[in-house]
Every structure is written in structure tokens, then in C-alpha cells.
Structure 1
């Protein structure tokens, strides 16, 4: 009895009935793949610029704090409120070398636990690594005159990303090795980059001898596009206090038992992404794992996908960049998926570690997107 199943059905080719596309359509398909690839790289660049540079800046800041012998206000479980001092404020540091950690900035308006390092110098290297830099031509914390700071508004941890949220009367707190300086936010102004008067000793009375102790924060405007202007925020010293006496009232909180706590996080606390450091070991590890699995798969299974195509069990595919890579992967389907994932991981790591930093530093359009914010002097 004929049961409807023949040898030809069992052993015959399993190709689909769809024919290959013509050369023009295949070329269009390859072009589409290239465009998708470029779009993915652009998206990854934005992730690198907006997030990964901040991760790197966080790691650098924690490492910088670990290298100095400053006390950690959050090290103990509870603390006290430092007595506000109204006399002439001490100046600290009196001088600093390029790249030195001179202070830390705390702005409660930017979020509980928010803090950033301030280093000496405002060039691109210091702002990219640390986020905030002190204009070397301006005064030091506590000094009569203007303690002026530059910082990124997007990328590199966007230390001044929320500067537009400041409200009159908000505290802006500077901590040096031994002193707290509590400034009060007064006002802001948007200027062009050539308006260097904003960091003068007394921006309101140019040329006059300064009589106030001011702080100035400068950053880019607008936030996410080419920085054509600068956002300037000014504050004035309200009081100073000794670090050895405790913490400012503005940085304190009280628990259920009435104990005073430091509202900021530990100065040596580092997020999980920031602990990764360099991506080079991960790129090398992914490529090494790929090589090991690829060799093992080639020995065990060879290239079954290519074998099916050559034997006619699969339709000869159209020309394709990604399809070609997929067909060159040895082994069975789960192994090919694993090998592809390892290649993608290595490629993304290489972009973050080498390609994007180089592009940001050397391609003019990307240099503008990096938002270097120092006022030209």
C-alpha cells in the first residue's frame, strides 16, 4: 500500500521555493546593513558619552580621594553639627599644583548624597577625568574674591547637569581638607564664552577691589547640543566651619533615634560599573574565549550550516555582511549564538575603550559634542 512517503521525500533537498534576489537588491541589502551598523555605533557613542564617561570619572574621583589623607565624614555612624564661624574665613589651600585635589563640592539641590571632586585646572583633560576644575587665575576657597569652577553639564558624570534647578538661597558647600565653606546661591546669567568677566574677583564691580567671598560655577549652554553659550551661577559665602567639629547643618539628617547623620555617601564608595576600570582585559578575554570555542566547535561539528548549503539542503543565501559572518561560525546553533555574542561583546568593548575616546578627541564635530566648557581666557 502506498502510504504517501517516498525515498525522494526523505532524502531530497529541503530548500525553500524562494529564489535569490538580483544583484541590485542584494547590494541594497548590504547598504541597509551598513546603515544599521552605523546607527548602532552612533547609539553606542551616545551611551559612551552620556554614561560611560561618567563611570570613568566616578572611578577617577574615588581613586583621587583615596590618595589623600582627608577624613571621611561618613566613616562613623553618627556625627555632630559643626559650629558656624562668622569671622574671616581661612584660605585652604593657599596654593595648588595642576591636577591636585583642592576641594569637594556638595549641592543638596542636586540630590541626596551628591558630591564631586574639584581639581586644580580647567583644561579638557582635568574636566574629562574629574568633572570639575578650578580656574587657576581665580581665588581659593574662603579667600576674598571669586572662587570659580568649571564643569561639564552633560557627559563625564555631568557634574553641573542640574545647574538650572538651583533656587535662590540654596546652599553650595565646599569642603577642603580642614574646612567647610557654605555659600548661598544668589543668581545666574547666560553669557557667551568670551565674557571672561564672570570669573573676575568681583563680577558686579569690575576693576574694584573685591570685598565679598564669592563662588562661581560655569558650565555649557545649551545642555545637549553644541555649547554656544555659558551658564553662570554665583553664590556668596554664608559661613565657614571646621571639619574637625563635624558637618554643616545643610549636609545633615536625623535618624529615628535622633542621631545626626552625614547625608552624603561614603567618599570611597564606588558603584559596580566604576569598579570595572579598563575594558581591555574584557576585550581580550572575549576574543580568547571566542577562539577557544571556535576551535573546539570546528573540531567537533565543523561547519554544518555551510555543509547544508553546499549539499543543497538549504537555499543558497543572498549576499549579506551579517549573514556571511553567521555562516562562517562553526558548530551547532547554540555554539554559533555564543560565538556571535562574544564577538559583539569584544566589539563594543573595543569601541568604548579605544575608538570612541579617539574619535571624541580628533573628529571636530565630536569634539564639539564633548562639551568642553572652560571659559576662554
Structure 2
């Protein structure tokens, strides 16, 4: 082959550089898309396992029903320990509960001395996702002969029954209504398929049989962090009751170092539950972003855009994140702050509106929401 033919067969240098630039740009875009999807998925897990619990706790804190209830009896600032009375004489809270009404509170010391959740009427997602645990409407009241059955999430939404598999022999499950304490003691655990409605029958596991004892049944999903193909069922029996006006059950009483008896107040809540309403957070983040952006534009304009425009053409490889960084005003530290604020705005927006919508409309995410009521 002659020198002239070899020269003709070679591509011009600028053509090769252009091809490299296109390839690098494509790889950059693909990489950034994958990174973005990974971050969104990670944030969804945080939303599902943490933030839904924060919202559920906020809802329970603001429960107007329980906030108006009388505190357990005390004497000179020291909580009284109520005398346990026979389960056979347990009174039943008067009145009826409509869908969404607050029934009471549940305490399971195995989950922590300060652990408490609200129980409401109804077991659909609207109740379980916001209020803690839901009472099966066609089962008995707390303390009543028969089966007081409730459902709760095991993952996400505060995971009230996240550790249900750890309840063991000798553990207590305590329910408070407006006027009474009902103390149940754990009896057994079983794993069943969703069609086993007999687990919430008046006599658990025996449909049609007349009840002579007072039971409690907790239902939640199994397995914990996957599609809930089964249900984890926890059973207990009433062993005693007492009046709120007499104090608190001994299982919920604590002694301080000075020997005083105390009862953990229902106002003990996690720091995360004190986070302001997310719509307010988004608004403030946008205001802060605009203030810094305008200040940076006045003081320094857009130096990153000028620097990029002065680069040789072969060095201008498109990157979405690079473009986003260049679009911010000010010097590099200011631009970093602005990008971080944009990330926070998007994350808060997804927590407030994006992920709730996705969990309701994307089939796979509907499954991962872990609705746990026995069908």
C-alpha cells in the first residue's frame, strides 16, 4: 500500500476525538442515570423503614382521644402501682367504636420499657399506616370473653410488630383503654397462610367454638423484609386487670435511683418525630437556596460556566451533574452548598409526595408496603 493510500485510510484526528467525546458522554450519562436510580432506591428504603414510622408517631402523638384521658393515679408525684385483679372479673369499656376511632394503647415490655403504640378500629392500610395497630372489627373488645385481635406492620410505618417473633414465654402484653388496664400473658406463636382467618376467631384456631376465656391475638407479616406470603400470629391470655384510677400495672412501673416509682409518660417520643411538616421544610429549603443563589450571582456571577466555555471542544464532555454544578452561581464552595440544597429539596419532595404516590401506583412497591391484616 502506498503512502498516499495509507494516509487516505486514516481517519482525521478531529473525527477520532469527536467519537471519543460521544462515547465518553454516553458512558457518563448511563453512569449518572444508574447512580441516580440507586440513590432514589436507597432513599425509598429510608422512607419506607424510617420516615413512615416518624409520620405514624406524629399522628399518634397528636391523637386527641388519648391526650384527654386521665393519667394513672399518683401520690406526691410518685406513680401508684395498681393492685392486679382476677381476669374472671374484668369489666368491659362501655360504648362502641366506629372505624378510625381510638380504642386504647398497647404496651409490650419485651420491646422496651418505653415502648407504646396506639390501637384504632379498623385494619386497612389507612389505619395501620398511620395509627400503629388496628382492631379487627368483628373480634371482641379488650378484656371481653373471646379474642381481642389486632394487626400491625412488621416493617415500615413504625414497624409496631417488628419484633413480634421475639415475644417469649413469660412476656406480658398490656392494653390500656380509657379507664382500665388489661394484662395479657404470651401463650404461643404460629405462622399461617393469609386465608387462616380462624386465628382471630373467639377461640383462636377453632372457628365456631364458644369462648370461655379472654384472649389477645397479634397478627403481622411473615417474612419481615419480603413479600408477605404468610402471617406471624402471637397469642396471649388475660391474667389480670386494674383501673387506671388505681395506678399502673406493676409490669409498667419503674424505680428511679432514689427508689421512687415512676411510669414512662406517653409524651416520651423520639427526636425524629419532632421534625417539622415536610411541606414547610421544602419551602424553607427553596427560600434558602434562592437567597444564596442570588447572592452568589451578584458577587461572582457564574465562573464555572465561563471556565467551561473556554475549554477546547474536545474537552467538553457532557455530564448532567457537571452541568448542574456549572449552573450554580458563585465560587466552588458556594456551588457545592447550592447543589446540596437541591439534593435536599428533591429528597424531601420525594418523602412528602413522590414515594407515597409510587407506593400506591407501582405494583412491586404496593407489595413491599407490607399490609399485614389477615385476609
Q: TM-score, normalised by structure 2?
A: 0.90
Contact preservation (8 Å) 1:154, 1:161: yes
Give the distance between the partners of 1:20 and 1:343, measured in 2 at CA. Answer: 33
SS at match of 1:164: helix
Equivalence for 1:351 = 350
Call closer, same or farther: CA 1:257–1:312 in 2, change over 3 Å.
Answer: closer
SS at match of 2:45: helix
1:328 CA displacement: 1.1
Equivalence for 1:40 = 39
Call closer, same or farther: CA 1:323–1:204 in 2, change over 3 Å.
Answer: closer
Q: Residues 197-236 of structure 1: matches in 2 within 5 Å?
A: 197-236=198-237
Give the distance between the partners of 1:200 and 1:93, measured in 2 at CA. Answer: 22
1:315 CA displacement: 7.8
Give the distance between the partners of 1:55 and 1:145, measured in 2 at CA. Answer: 34
Equivalence for 1:135 = 136
SS at match of 2:157: coil
After superposition, the C-alpha distances for 1:326-355 in whole angstroms (9 at most, x for unaligned) are: 111111112111211111110110010000
Could you say which structure has the higher helix fraction? Answer: 2
Call closer, same or farther: CA 1:113–1:269 in 2, change over 3 Å.
Answer: closer
After superposition, the C-alpha distances for 1:182-234 in whole angstroms (9 at most, x for unaligned) are: 00100011001111011001124331211010000000000000000000111
Q: Residues 251-270 of structure 1: matches in 2 within 5 Å?
A: 251-262=252-263, 265-270=264-269
Deviates more, 1:67-76 or 1:234-243: 67-76
After superposition, the C-alpha distances for 1:283-337 in whole angstroms (9 at most, x for unaligned) are: 1221222222222222221111121232349984311110011111111112111
Q: Does 1:272 align with 2:274?
A: no
Equivalence for 1:176 = 177
Q: Does 1:147 align with 2:148?
A: yes
Q: How many residues align?
A: 357
Give the distance between the partners of 2:234 and 2:66, measured in 1 at CA. Answer: 30
Structure 2 gaps of 5+ residues are 1-16
Contact preservation (8 Å) 2:66, 2:178: no
Give the distance between the partners of 1:34 and 1:93, measured in 2 at CA. Answer: 58
Give the distance between the partners of 1:280 and 1:339, measured in 2 at CA. Answer: 19
1:254 CA displacement: 2.0
Equivalence for 1:8 = none
Call closer, same or farther: CA 1:105–1:313 in 2, change over 3 Å.
Answer: same
Call closer, same or farther: CA 1:315–1:335 in 2, change over 3 Å.
Answer: farther
Give the distance between the partners of 1:243 and 1:175, measured in 2 at CA. Answer: 8
Equivalence for 2:101 = 100
Q: TM-score, normalised by structure 1?
A: 0.90
Give the distance between the partners of 2:39 and 2:73, measured in 1 at CA. Answer: 42
1:19 CA displacement: 9.9
Give the distance between the partners of 2:186 and 2:73, measured in 1 at CA. Answer: 25
Equivalence for 1:11 = none
Structure 1 gaps of 5+ residues are 1-17
1:93 CA displacement: 4.5
1:256 CA displacement: 3.2
Deviates more, 1:276-285 or 1:185-194: 276-285
Call closer, same or farther: CA 1:269–1:74 in 2, change over 3 Å.
Answer: farther
